[in-house]
Amino acid sequence: MYVNLDSTTPIYIQIAEWLQHEIVADRLQTDDKVYSQYQLAELFNINPATAGKGLTILLEEQLLYKKRGLGMFVTTDAKERILTKRRNETLTKMAQNLVIEANRLLVSDEELLALIRRTQEGLK
Amino acid sequence: MKMIQCEQLAKNFGSHKALQNITCAIESEKIVGIIGRNGAGKSTLLHILAGYLQPTRGTCHVFGEKPFNNIQTAANTIMIDDRLSFSNYLTLEEILGMGADFYPNWQGELAFRLLDYARLAKKAKHEQLSKGQLATFNLIYGLASRCALTILDEPMNGMDEAIRNDFYRAILKEYIAFPRTILIASHHLQEMESILEEILLINEGVVIAHAPIDELKQQLISLTGPSHALAPILADSIIYTKKEIAGMTTVVVEASKLFIQEDVLQKKGITTAHLSTSDVCMYLTSSEGSDIDAVFD
């Protein structure tokens, strides 16, 4: 399997994101063993040290835990934590972009809020 | 102990200063890209590390010893480039058959499987090979030798794209199977960067950067915004390149010198973008004010 590693985001971050995606999609579940850095290196054709850095990110965020000599495993609330984080970060970023674009188009605050409300109604 | 340690290494060829001041340390069992423009001194450095050349000044230690005329270095090092020569009386099969006589870790079976895969004829003579086939054969030889220090100087020159991709993967798989220090000098950074751990960037015989690849990639950043908004931010920065189109300016600067949050920049109408590793290397090694357009003015 190859992912399309883009050229501007550091590869270890792309690996960390891919692993989180696998957890969200339930392909890696609580207490499942995660790929080793060497398996990831083979899968994505990357340096094992880079793959190791990707795993370390998840370890530091306590989405994975280590068992000595056995490897790394998914923690109990990993999926929930990833989802919460994404809601906070992704949604905030999108809201920011929305406001910037609205300012650029000279849309007033009231008009923007009204637009959001109308959109919500439309999707109900 | 470091696998490679160079202190203020310099090499002159007559009045030409190929290496001016190389100080670097490379740990064992890493894949390191040796990157630089043409004539930067990459090959000279590699030749000194392999023990082919003696430095003019400074010191160089490989495996803790001076590599020049050193039997220990010779036994544990292989240097692959397009000047590698084998006897013209021998077939490829015979050359590979004798690998075990020189290299204790020789992987004969792997060498023949790779030879087959690359569709090289066992009975062919080394001198009959095309440029790309020669590079392929030499690289197979280099991988099969499993030397603790494997030096590849432009190993993919002349190879077609498909076989290049196959052999980057072959290098990676061989490295995982048998970790060793692999130095790869190449101009094809973009296609090989994923298998590298570190980059040693050289320009005009001097080390410009030596860092893990992701760190190097984030060293420079590109900013685009209205010229008047950019000017105050850039007062203290070295500007690597600057392009102006219709009041909007794009600059490349050092990321660490920017003490401004991204959302503050955004409010000023400035957008940031990351660069590819090969672009970062290009900007770090281009001379000040160098611009091809200026030649035509």
Do B206 and B255 lie in one domain? The reply is: no
Q: Are B20 and B67 in the same domain?
A: yes
CB contact under 8 Å between B194 and A96, yes or no, is: no
Q: Could you tell me if B162 and B44 lie in one domain?
A: yes
B197 and B225 fall within a common domain: no
Contact criterion met (CB < 8 Å) for B214 and A11: yes
Tell me which of B213, B230, B260 is where a domain ends. Answer: B213
pLDDT tens digit sequence for B57-108: 999 999 999 999 999 999 999 999 999 989 889 999 999 999 999 999 999 9
The last residue of one of the domains, among B213, B237, B253, is B213
Nearest-CA distance from A60 to chain B in Å?
Answer: 18
Q: Does B195 touch chain A (CB under 8 A)?
A: yes
Instruction: For chains A and B, count residue pairs whose Cβ atoms are closer than 8 Å.
Output: 52
Tens-digit pLDDT profile for residues B117-131:
999 999 999 989 999
> With bands split at pLDDT 50, 70 and 90, how would you rate the model's confidence at B200?
very high
Contact A64/A74 with Cβ under 8 angstroms? Answer: yes
Label residue A1 by pLDDT band (50, 70, 90). very low
pLDDT of residue B148: 97
* A38 contacts in chain B (CB < 8 Å): 176
Rounded to the nearest integer, the mean pLDDT of chain B is: 93
Residues of B in contact with A41 (CB under 8 A): 172, 176
pLDDT of A35 over the 60 cut: yes
Chain B nearest-CA residue for A8? B276
Same domain? B231 vs B120: no
pLDDT digits (tens, 9 = 90+) for B152-181: 999 999 999 999 999 999 999 999 999 999
Range with the poorest average pLDDT among B39-43, B131-135, B293-297:
B293-297
Q: What percent of chain A has pLDDT over 90?
A: 77
pLDDT tens, position by position, B101-150 = 999 999 999 999 999 999 999 999 998 999 999 999 999 999 999 999 99
At residue B257, the pLDDT reads 78
Dist CA A90 CA A84 (whole Å): 10
Close Cβ partners of B229 (under 8 Å, ≥ 6 residues apart)? B268, B269, B270
Test A50 with B213 for CB contact under 8 angstroms: yes
Do B189 and B287 lie in a common domain? no
The CATH topology of domain A11-76 is Arc Repressor Mutant, subunit A (1.10.10)
Which pLDDT score is estimated for B288? 66
> How does DSSP classify residue B117?
H
Q: Do B53 and B195 have their domain in common?
A: yes
Structural domains counted in chain B: 2
How many Cβ atoms are within 10 Å of B36's Cβ, its own excluded? 24
Q: In chain B, which residues have their Cβ closer than 8 Å to the Cβ of A46? A: 172, 194-195
Which residues from B are below 8 Å from A10, CB to CB?
214, 217-218
The position carrying tokens 């010191």 is: B59
A48-96: pLDDT as tens digits: 999 999 999 999 999 999 999 999 999 999 999 999 998 888 888 889 8
Closest CB from A8, A38, A45 relative to B194: A45
Cβ contacts of B61 within 8 Å, gap of 6 or more: B2, B4, B5, B6, B67
pLDDT of B293 over the 80 cut: no
| pTM of the full structure | 0.89
On the question of pLDDT at A2 being above 60, the answer is: no
Chain A CA closest to residue B221: A8
Which of A9, A46, A47 has its CB closest to that of B274?
A9
The shortest CB-CB distance from B217 to any of A5, A10, A45 is to: A10
The per-residue DSSP string of B146-164 comes to T-SEEEEESTTTT--HHHH
Domain spans of chain A? 11-76, 79-123
The CATH number of the domain where B282 resides is what?
3.30.70
B257 touches chain A (CB under 8 A): no
Residue B287 has pLDDT above 80, yes or no: no
Which of B:264-293 have CB within 8 Å of A? 266, 273-277
User: Given this model, what pLDDT does residue A87 score?
Assistant: 87
**Minimum distance, in Å, between the CA of residue A96 and any CA atom of chain B:** 9
* ipTM score: 0.87
- B152 and B80 in contact (C-beta within 8 Å)? yes
**For residue B197, which residues of chain A lie inside 8 Å, CB to CB?**
47, 49-50
CA distance A1 to A39: 11
Q: Is there a single domain that holds both residue B191 and residue B276?
A: no
Q: Which residues of A touch B263 (CB under 8 A)?
A: 96
Interface mutation target, options B27, B197, B199, chain A, most CBs of A under 10 Å:
B197
Task: Give B245's contacts (C-beta < 8 A, 6+ positions apart).
Answer: none
- For residue B126, the enclosing domain spans 4-213
User: What confidence score (pLDDT) does residue B35 get?
Assistant: 97
Give phi and psi for B159, each to the nearest 5: -80, 145
Provide the pLDDT for residue B177.
97
Do B188 and B248 lie in a common domain? Answer: no
B94/B157 same-domain check: yes
B42 and B188 inside one domain = yes
Task: Mark yes or no for CB contact A50/B275 under 8 Å.
Answer: no
Query: Where are any strands of DSSP class E within B227-270?
Result: 239-245, 248-254
CB-CB: which of B197, B217, B275 is closest to A49?
A: B197
- Name every chain A residue with its beta carbon within 8 A of the beta carbon of B196: 47
For B276, which of A8, A48, A96 is closest by C-beta distance? A8
- Nearest residue, CB atoms, B190 vs list A7, A50, A100: A7
Among A47, A96, A104, the residue to mutate for chain B (most B Cβ within 10 A)? A47
Looking at residue A6, what is its pLDDT? 66
CATH number of the domain where residue B94 is located: 3.40.50.300
Model pLDDT, residue B149: 97
Residue B139 is predicted with a pLDDT of 97
